[in-house]
Amino acid sequence: MNTKLSSHVTPLRFSVIRSMLEKASAYHDVISLSIGEPDFDTPAFVCEAAMKDAEHGYTHYAASSGDADLRAALLDAERAKSGLPWQEEHLLITSGAMHGLLAVMRTLLDEGDEVLTPAPCFSDYQGHCALAGGRLVPVATSFENGFIPTLDDMEAALTPKTRALLINSPCNPSGVVFDAATLDMLADFAVRHDLVVISDEVYDSIVFQGKAESIATRPGMFERTVVLNSFSKAFAMTGWRVGYALGPSWIMKEMIKVLSYSVASTGTPNQRAALAALKGPRAPFDAFRDAYRRRTHLAAERLNAMPGVRCLEPAGTFYLFPHIEAAEQDSLAFALDLLDKEQVIVVPGFPFGPEKTVKGCVRLACTVDENRLSEAMDRIERYLKTR
């Protein structure tokens, strides 16, 4: 039998985060700071609205571009947020931002095309590019430079195959929010080299310092930027799998083919849930954000007081990406030993970027309540002191 499988799929690694969780199942009283998923449940009013709509017949395929009511509400919300003139032809509903990433790569890339991204970056980007036949080219940043990319490093990473620039602000895993000058620099770079920009903005409403602006607002960007967003993080709706993409019509009119051939349409009751979340009261979601602010502040303060640890306080998201001397030699071995000795799960830094950037770093997701987070900090501190 010929057991050859696709060369786009077989080299991909299995999720390091999920494999840490599997290892942890052998232990008791584990505190998981591993998975990037809000610990809050979707508010009841959202679930009730989705069930009610399902009872009233919202159980059929939606249009591939998305449910008409959700599309209208999103266009209003996005126009109000950025001031950009988004129209019907610019918007597609996706099955989470993951699906948006896959669809935009499938639409943009041909075999061997390259996508630049400042690193540390979301560990799944490499797979999204590879599945489309492309190649992710991480551009190293440094802890010392606040994980902000420099123009020189971006220029040095360009090749004739570079097709796109992928950015993620606020950033998973660093919690960094790009300031206005960085966005200006990246926009100018993209225009000069005629690159499409993919702007992953799934954490744009979980911001504690400054403002998460979209690069699409910069001159020359509206016609070359695809913004990806999602209900997963901001609305605690990871399991509903609803996201969206906003971009120029020359890309979106082709990208809809990928949606149509992959999922036909995102689940209709799920889209109705997203509509209810968008139109409902903001208070529960603001409360989630405030909880992430308190937690990340608490964890950063505790970590910075531990021996051999330095940690930037995140400006957004619910992640921290501390540098830990004890993890310098091997961040996976560190994470496994911490799990074994103290039953805390952190994610080793290596899936998030090149060695130069992530050496000694681990990612913590503040997705447990403050009591459990304090307990996790006590355990990490004890581990580092007794190691």
- Report in angstroms how near the CB of residue 35 gets to ligand PLP at its nearest: 8
Nearer to ligand PLP, 302 or 363 (CB): 363
Please state the closest distance from residue 46 (CB atom) to ligand PLP, in A: 16
Going by C-alpha positions, the residue among 92, 54, 97, 98 that lies closest to residue 260 is: 92
Q: Of 109, 112, 190, give the one whose Cα is nearest residue 149.
A: 190
User: In this chain, which residue has its C-beta nearest to ligand PLP?
Assistant: 96
Nearer residue to ligand PLP within complex by CB, 202 or 377: 202
For the bound state, the minimum distance from the C-beta of residue 172 to ligand PLP, rounded and expressed in Å, comes to: 4
Cβ atoms < 10 Å from Cβ of 322: 23
**Cβ neighbour number for residue 163 with a 10 Å cutoff:** 20
> How, if at all, do strands 323-324 and 225-230 pair?
unpaired
Q: Which is nearer to ligand PLP, 243 or 322 (CB)?
A: 243
Residue 131 or 158: which CB sits closer to ligand PLP? 131
Specify the residue, 168 or 214, whose C-beta has the smaller distance to ligand PLP: 168
Q: Which of 319, 374, 324 is nearest to 208 (CA)?
A: 319
Q: Are strands 31-32 and 344-345 parallel, antiparallel or unpaired?
A: parallel
In angstroms, what is the C-alpha Rg of the chain?
A: 21
- DSSP-based helix, strand, coil % in the chain, nearest 5: 45, 15, 40
Output 64 or 326, the one with its CB closest to ligand PLP: 64
Which residue matches tokens 């950015």?
167
CB of 163 to ligand PLP, least distance (A): 19
Which is closer to ligand PLP, CB of 331 or CB of 367?
Answer: 367
Q: How far is the CB of 155 from ligand PLP (least distance, A)?
A: 25
Answer whether the bond into residue 120 is a cis peptide, omega within 30°: yes
Residue closer to ligand PLP (CB basis): 326 or 366? 366
CB of 234 to ligand PLP, least distance (A): 10
From the CB of 56, what's the least distance to ligand PLP, in Å?
Answer: 26
Closest distance to ligand PLP from the beta carbon of 104 (Å)? 12
Output DSSP code: residue 208. S
Query: What is the contact surface with ligand PLP in residues (CB under 6 A)?
Result: 36, 96-98, 122, 168, 172, 200, 202, 230, 232, 238, 243
- DSSP SS3 for 369: coil
Q: Which residues pair with 162 in a beta bridge?
A: 114
Q: Which is nearer to ligand PLP, 97 or 384 (CB)?
A: 97
- Least Å distance, CB 36 to ligand PLP, is 4
